[in-house]
A and B are shown apart, each in its own frame.
Chain A
């Protein structure tokens, strides 16, 4: 019986395209998530803690970050065996790789150094073996030599980072899509997979044979769901896998329909209701509005209430009464409103979106948007 906690793709020190304050919050959150994972490992008394790749987002992260992580790892109870694998970002090549640092040598597992033989994680009556893949190894025949179970006795675990296989399509973004066959053929008891996205593979009895918990902290709006790390208990006959929540900041995408008048007030109300300092929110605005509003100004007003706030304006204004009335004027603005309304009638969805943005662009420049005239 062995208890294993595994996680991956924490991407410490990742470069992000957010404003600096948001980047700082996210970096803090990443370290807090690492703390949570280490606390969970201690709390559940695991035998083995595995980071299956991309613990760092760069092969040579900043010294302060490196020291912070080393300090945390050193504080782990001695009973917990820590294993760190390289991912696609924190690749182990080059003399400046963090994994060449002396402090990391007890934890980092380099398949090339181990000459492909599995790592003996635990001795005794029921030994535990850990098989790992070399960096950038494909799912094909090459993997077999490193991952094939080579004896009956003991518990045989596999761990690798499932990098993107560019020449193979993966429309559902399933991290195990191209590895399922290989994993099954390895005949290991349980395989820990690293990838930003989550996925699980079970045998015919419904027992998990491979699991990828995904990144424990979302870093973009493409990662909106709750994030986990995986706690696995492997016995002689049974394997149980439990997802433990560990994320600190939440990314959420919302669709908001704003129809008719008072859209701006409604938007303010929704934003006030959703305000949370642990939430990064992306609002997609839809609906037929009657007055234009400055989305950026509204976002600016509520920005401090969220970790990050962004809004995508997909509302329709060309159908509004305002446009219809203005189109009756015999002024330049009257004519241009008339033209845009007419052009939008038979336009496709994409072209219509262009007209919608064009009318906003024009009205903003003429300072005709509500609230700007003052």
Chain B
């Protein structure tokens, strides 16, 4: 395929200009600022568009800045035209006789993401082989100073171009991935070199510390709960004991007064009458409160007076119920498992046995001599199948049996509990309390809720009747205390000889209260200490949350980087093992032509270092080559890559003053190489070099002169400033 013509309309310094090209060597020659670079830039601009729309628009021009390219091959001719400002693209396809085949028209800006752009890119790829501007520039275009001069530059050029990403070098990308991976973790599967812990390991360690602290805090919280429960129960206990102590002392005082009255010759009956009269007075003053309390307690469903032993029965009934619920919960999973257990299906083995029998019959009918073998196989198959079936049956039966036994044991326990509950229900009914579970829970709750009222009622009731005898043993149950008070007969009054013992008991109770108060103080202090230690728990929790988030991020990053490294490494390996050889062959073809057989092959190593095979069969490293040969190799590689990427087409090759820095001999060498290559690819050189102009004249190239005078007559463009820069560079 060759570029047949280039038409520029108000494009840079060209107001309206058409250029024709031929096969083989073409030279666009002209002085600086004549528009050579603009011409060359227009080729990529037509195909791919330009980002800076104003760059090629003439000064003061308001009309459309347009350019078109016409490519020609044996089968097909293509014309691509673009309005640079609007990015309106028209792509015409003609057959060999210039009869239209297809026309694509769309607006596709540079780096556009539209669907039409994709269609256009697909068309370019199908027709010209390349739709990627960067790749096109890396292969078909050679600008000033783009020939690598050292072996390192050459390797880099090769790596970049072969990676397909013209701005990135696969090795650099791989290295950057490895660096990032190593910054995340010290765990490196690609290198045995151990490094110090990285962020991931540091975060993991910090999280382990947090876990430890968390466990410690949990233990502290559990201790705090226990301490608080102990404080609560101790406070309750102390409250009750203090009340009893007070009552006991009150009673002792009262009974001592009574004895003193008796000793003072007052008839006991009078004293009692007096006392009774006092009691009556108090009784007159206090029945209102007592009645109120009775009404309140009865309203709450508490039987007044409280039967002795009722609280104990309530507690027992509660225990038994809890036990029954626990047994029930234990039985549920066993029942579920039992229900889910199924014996293996007998129909399938039977079916298979029948099938085997039928097969044996069929064998008998068609191949009687094989009957014995067939029967043997059928019997063996059936026996193994039924054997398996029997094993399964036994296994399921054993499991069922085990579960049933466990269920029976639990059921037995449940029945025992039920019997106990029935006995308790009888006792409840004996007290006149309904034995339903709801009623009992209600009474229990009422006891808990009206503890204070009950306590008060006991006091009032005791004062109204007779002071209660202080129980010898400490009983912490208020209702029981009430019952005790209720049932204490008058004959149980303290006798003078029992006084020291009663006083000793009261002192012992007093001492016990004092000791427990000290314990309570200790527990309160312990609570304060625990709370102090827990003060930082929430800060720890927050830190832990942040660390967990970071850990997830780092784990994800590690996974992604690891995947990217592996995929890239594998891709490079695959490229090296398969495509590299093919690429070597393509380059070798151009290399032979460019060097007239001086070098016949190229060997590319995995690190893209290259060696050339000389005529005498020796391999020569790039460092040993002359710069002229290096240029030839470089051209061969570009053309080889172009052919490698687009094997079906030989695309034109553009060089913009690429040979300007070469000295006379090297210029001749390079030109000779290009001439040889022009047999396969159209070569278009853009140059202001007079030497090249002379060579072109001598060797009859197609020369397109760009006149300085003519170029000055057209309006100056911004591009001109750049060409000016090129002049100063020269």
Contact = CB atoms under 8 A, between A and B. Distances in A.
A135 B531 contact: yes
A261 B118 contact: yes
Interface stretch (A70-78, A199-207, A357-365): A357-365
B529 to A, nearest CB: 10
Contacts of A325: 122, 125
Contacts of B134: 373
A139 B172 CA distance: 60
A93 interface: yes
Nearest to B546: A17
B125 A261 contact: no
Given A332-B162, A361-B564, A367-B165, A290 B645 contact: no
A234 to B, nearest CB: 22
A136 B534 contact: yes
A135 B559 CA distance: 43
B160 to A, nearest CB: 10
Contact of A331 (B177, B559, B564, B645): B645
Contact of B560 (A142, A357, A373): A357
B225 A366 contact: no
B167 interface: yes
Given A166-B218, A374-B51, A291 B122 contact: no
Interface in A259-276: 260-265
Interface string B526-544: 0000011011001001100
A333 B165 contact: yes
Given A136-B534, A365-B176, A365-B177, A370 B567 contact: no
A367 B168 contact: yes
A46 B160 CA distance: 74
Interface in A110-149: 135-138, 140-142, 145
A137 B546 CA distance: 26
B229 A332 contact: no
Interface stretch (A210-218, A303-311, A334-342): A334-342
A313 B229 CA distance: 52
Given A142-B232, A166-B218, A361-B564, A335 B571 contact: yes
B170 A91 contact: no
A373 B531 CA distance: 61
B221 A136 contact: yes
A177 B496 CA distance: 61
Interface residues of B, number: 55
B147 to A, nearest CB: 22
B531 A333 contact: no
A59 B228 CA distance: 23
A371 interface: yes
Contacts of A373: 111, 133-134, 167
Contacts of B568: 332, 336, 362
Given A17-B546, A140-B225, A261 B538 contact: no
Contacts of A362: 173, 564, 567-568
Contacts of A91: 535, 538
A370 B109 CA distance: 13
B358 interface: no
Contacts of B221: 136, 166
A330 B645 contact: yes
B232 A365 contact: no
A290 B113 contact: yes
A367 B133 CA distance: 14
A366 B167 contact: yes
Contacts of B311: none
Contacts of B170: 332, 366
A355 interface: yes
Contacts of B575: 331-332, 335
Given A93-B534, A335-B575, 19 more contacts: A94-B535, A136-B224, A138-B225, A138-B228, A142-B232, A261-B118, A322-B118, A326-B164, A331-B163, A333-B164, A336-B568, A339-B570, A362-B564, A362-B568, A365-B176, A366-B173, A373-B111, A373-B134, A374-B111
30 contacts: A59-B535, A138-B228, A141-B232, A145-B235, A262-B114, A265-B113, A290-B118, A291-B113, A329-B164, A329-B645, A331-B163, A331-B164, A332-B164, A332-B165, A332-B571, A332-B572, A333-B164, A334-B164, A336-B571, A339-B574, A343-B567, A354-B559, A357-B560, A358-B560, A358-B561, A361-B564, A362-B567, A366-B170, A367-B165, A374-B51
Interface of A: 15, 17, 59, 88-89, 91, 93-94, 135-138, 140-142, 145, 150, 164, 166-167, 260-265, 290-291, 293, 321-322, 325-326, 329-336, 339-340, 343, 354-355, 357-358, 361-362, 365-368, 370-371, 373-374
